[in-house]
Amino acid sequence: MHSDYHRRGIGTSLLGQAVSWAQNRCYQRVRLCSGIQREPAHRFYENRGFLRQRASDAFELALPQNEPTSLPVMLRGSGA
């Protein structure tokens, strides 16, 4: 969220709606991802009951300019 909109309750409201949505559908947990450099966001989530977990790693492949590729933009592993 852009810093002009911080501390207005918007993030709290959006997060609350997402949690309610998951609860209403009998989900067992809500998981979110946040970049390691976003410490203020991490505090925001922790202050709302989220626990920091080490669930996955991100992998990135830098591609040469103007070279087509057949690889998907984002690959998701099966956890294996």
Residue range 27-42, pLDDT digits in tens? 999 999 888 888 999 9
Question: What is the separation of C-alpha 1 from the centre of its chain, rounded to a whole number of angstroms?
Answer: 12
Residue range 21-75, pLDDT digits in tens? 999 999 999 999 888 888 999 999 999 999 998 877 778 888 887 756 565 555 5
pTM of the model: 0.65
DSSP string, the chain: --GGGTTSSHHHHHHHHHHHHHHHTT-S-------TT-HHHHHHHHTTT------------PPPTT----S-SS------
* 40 CB-contact burial (10 Å; exposed 0-12 / middle 13-18 / buried 19+): exposed
